[in-house]
Amino acid sequence: MLNISPNTTPEREKHLHSKSLERLEGKGEQTKFLRMLGISFGILVILMLLPWTQNLNAPGEVISRFPDKKPQQINSLIDGRIKKWYAFEGQNINAGDTIVTLTEVKPEFLDEDLIPRTQALVRAKEEAIVLYTNKLEALSNQEVILEERRELAIQQAKLKIQQSIQKVAADSAAAVQARIDRDIANEREKRAYQLFEDGLITQTDLESRILKKQEAQAKFVKAENTLSTTRQSLSVARLDVRSKRAEYNDKIANNQSDQASTGAAKQDAIAEKTKLENTLANYRTRQTGQVILAPQGGRIVSTMQGGVGEIIRAGASVCTVQPLDFQEAAELYVNAMDVPLIHPGENVRLQFDGWPALVFSGWPSASVGTFGGRVVSVDQVINARGKYRVIIIPEEGESWPRPLSIGSGVYGMVLLKDVPLGYELWRQINGFPPEFYKGKDAEERKEGDEKK
């Protein structure tokens, strides 16, 4: 019988209530259960022995490592009023492109001829410096001439002293001679009186000798007076040397005083010229600040000021520019307890917002849609959120998806030690941290980075 019909024959109905048949059928079901239990246990053992990559999961965002490639605000150097906009949000610009022009609002800079007039002041000071220089040269030449004239005057006065000395010597000899002649005349007069009393000479001879005695006396007085005058002239000549020296020293001192005053005036003119040149440079820079240029190429993300005629302050942000050719990186924020487990050179798998991925955290090779990265820096200072920052760059030979925007979200898995899956489950159940492990590849990469 094929037992195709659902109806049961009477013989079949008898056997269904047989105890032996019930025992045989019960043993078959128990065997099937044990077999399934053994297969399940074997599969479980195999799963427990499968390798599992320990990892640390952390959220983060895309950044640029280089300061000149980060979003930057373009600020105004001066206070001014917006005159015209040349750019708009979402526009790509090149370095040096004009973004906005301003007009002055401060009263001291409103003069349109401010720079030409300041240039005229600078030229006037330059001419004054030239005149002071010429005056210093003239005073210096005058000082040389005065020194030469002083030497000549002193030499001339010394010659007069020599002449006076010679004249004093001559007058002294003449005075001595006049004294001798006077003494002789006195003796002859006395003898004349004696001879006249003796009657040896006449009255005329006596009177003649008396006259000669008076003449000799007059010559003596005259010689004495001449000698006295000559000595006074000698004293005057000696004083004249001192007088000439003092006179020309005073003139030279006045000349040097004029040189010092002129030099001080020249230095003041140089200082004023320098101040004016500084002011002129500031005016030119300020005029340059009226035109705000793009410091580098990029895209205008947002404009902070709007309209025409709006007044902005110095240092106020005009717009934000994002460079287009930035080198992307990622920063992850990890807990304090996980920081000792992360070292430069560790491998990281990243999942970016907007890019679908199928992630198996313990089997990175089986994950789809993740991108490789490498740890290059671990901050040693905690941030305001109580996290530590880890910087990730693309793994060598692997590129991240294009385009990535700075600030977009990223989810990272820092890969640690490979352990059996059973060990990982036991660790998770007991709440133990991952193994403090520093892979050989990480050490080699760190050494390579240090050499670079």
> Which tokens sit at 45?
């053992």
What is the pLDDT, as a whole number, of residue 276? 92
CATH no., domain 114-282: 1.10.287.1700
Who wins on pLDDT, 260 or 401? 260
Instruction: Dump strand ranges (E) for 304-408.
Output: 311-312, 317-322, 328-334, 347-352, 371-378, 388-394
The residues pairing with 81 across neighbouring beta strands, listed in sequence order, are: 103, 311
pLDDT above 70 for 353:
yes
Domain ranges of the chain: 1-49, 53-68+326-451, 71-97+294-322, 114-282
pLDDT, tens only, 356-393: 655 555 555 545 557 888 889 888 888 888 888 999 88
Overall fold of domain 53-68+326-451: Elongation Factor Tu (Ef-tu); domain 3 (2.40.30)
Confidence of residue 422 (pLDDT cuts 50, 70, 90): low
pLDDT, tens only, 304-345: 877 788 888 888 888 989 888 778 888 998 888 777 778 888
Who wins on pLDDT, 276 or 438? 276
Write the DSSP symbol of residue 302: E
Minimum mean pLDDT among 12-16, 69-73, 77-81, 219-223: which range? 12-16
Best-predicted range by mean pLDDT among 23-37, 255-269, 353-367?
A: 255-269
- Mean pLDDT score across all residues of the chain: 79
Q: In angstroms, rounded to a whole number, what is the distance separating the alpha carbons of residues 126 and 142?
A: 24
CATH top-level class for 71-97+294-322? mainly beta
What is the pLDDT, as a whole number, of residue 397? 79
Q: In angstroms, rounded to a whole number, what is the distance separating the alpha carbons of residues 160 and 200?
A: 54
Who wins on pLDDT, 199 or 24? 199
What is the pLDDT, as a whole number, of residue 445? 47
Confidence of residue 58 (pLDDT cuts 50, 70, 90): confident
CB 392 within 8 A of CB 334: no
pLDDT, tens only, 137-156: 999 999 999 888 888 888 88
What is the pLDDT, as a whole number, of residue 351? 81
What is the pLDDT, as a whole number, of residue 273? 93
pLDDT above 70 for 105:
yes
pLDDT, tens only, 292-301: 899 888 888 8
Model-level pTM greater than 0.75?
A: no
